[in-house]
Amino acid sequence: MFFHYLWFMLLPLFGFRAPVAPIQKQLPKEVPVLCFHHIRPDTMRHLSPYSVTVSTFKADMKILHDSGYHTILPDQLYDYLTKGTPLPPKPVMITFDDNDGEQFTIAKPTLDQYGFKGVFFIMTVTIGKPHYMSREQIKQLAEEGHQIGLHTWDHHMVTKYTEQDWVKQLDEPKKMLEQLIGKPIPYFAYPYGVWNQQALLELKKRNIKLAFQLSGKIDPTYPLLTVRRIIVPNSNSPQTLLKIMHRDFH
């Protein structure tokens, strides 16, 4: 027994090492990111899959508040994913696409009621047009602590862009919105949630910190540029929304 023990102790001197189990890097826990588009009157009978009624939206916000959720913004999510910066208990991100006017007249007061902050991805071709937010409203959102994000010029899929398209669809809208709110905007949402590898390279080249898709698979090389979101449908009850959040983000 003594010689077995002595041999074991001398192994390192001859260059032998006991096998070491590989260390598995644990990815940060995903944060639920919700996506809203249109908020329509309760009387509207036919809703698109991208629409919720006023009552549904308000009920969703109420149950998030009553269940102890705290909204976070992209800066917080980025620091959490890259540096492990702690988040508040039960974090959730609430995002809005396309610049619809109801996002200011209905969503914002509801968010304010619960002390929530949202992320508004602006399709810049719509600014100031009927039924869409104005420059002043977008600026007010930013001044009140909400995040303004990029959602292209006119919602064409990034998978079809040429180099000149990237200038028109991202570079110019980015410059315009940054001048409007007086802050850098390093956050982007893909139209239709669709992306490809070339888009990831273009966004990285432009120093976009986070880009948001829908419920597709996260890219293992560029997880920060393929952050998942779920569209909140009108057909779900608030209780179902909580179950889906728990199921889809882990």
The C-alpha atoms of residue 210 and residue 227 are separated, in whole angstroms, by 7
> What number is the average pLDDT over the span 223-247?
96
Q: Are 222 and 202 spatial neighbours (Cβ–Cβ below 8 Å)?
A: no
Residue 26 vs residues 7, 14, 40: alpha-carbon distances, Å: 36, 34, 41
CA atoms within 13 A on the CB side of 183: 17
- Each residue of 81-124: pLDDT tens digit? 999 999 999 999 999 999 999 999 999 999 999 999 999 999 99
Instruction: Please tell me the predicted confidence (pLDDT) of residue 249.
Output: 92
* Structure tokens that stand for 215 in this block: 């419920």
Decide if 1 is inside a domain: no
Decide if 134 is inside a domain: yes
Decide if 46 is inside a domain: no
pTM assigned to the model: 0.89
Radius of gyration, alpha carbons of the chain: 23
Instruction: Please tell me the predicted confidence (pLDDT) of residue 231.
Output: 97
Decide if 95 is inside a domain: yes
Q: Quickly state the pLDDT bin for 13 (edges 50, 70, 90).
A: very low
Decide if 204 is inside a domain: yes
Q: Quickly state the pLDDT bin for 215 (edges 50, 70, 90).
A: confident
Q: Are 94 and 116 spatial neighbours (Cβ–Cβ below 8 Å)?
A: yes
CATH code where residue 152 lies: 3.20.20.370
155: alpha, beta or left? (left if phi > 0; alpha if psi -120 to 50): left
Instruction: Please tell me the predicted confidence (pLDDT) of residue 28.
Output: 81
The C-alpha atoms of residue 112 and residue 135 are separated, in whole angstroms, by 20
Instruction: Please tell me the predicted confidence (pLDDT) of residue 141.
Output: 99
> What number is the average pLDDT over the span 120-129?
99
Domains held by the chain: number: 1
> Tokens 């410059």 sit at which residue?
175
> What number is the average pLDDT over the span 125-147?
99
pLDDT at residue 25 greater than cutoff 90? no
Instruction: Please tell me the predicted confidence (pLDDT) of residue 26.
Output: 55
Its domain, for residue 69, covers: 33-40+52-248
The C-alpha atoms of residue 18 and residue 116 are separated, in whole angstroms, by 53
Decide if 97 is inside a domain: yes
Decide if 9 is inside a domain: no
| Residue at 203: amino acid letter | L
* Structure tokens that stand for 171 in this block: 């570079």
DSSP designation for 66: H
Instruction: Please tell me the predicted confidence (pLDDT) of residue 11.
Output: 40
Decide if 61 is inside a domain: yes
Residue 27 vs residues 31, 74, 160, 218, 245: alpha-carbon distances, Å: 12, 18, 31, 12, 18
- Each residue of 164-205: pLDDT tens digit? 999 999 999 999 999 999 999 999 999 999 999 999 999 999
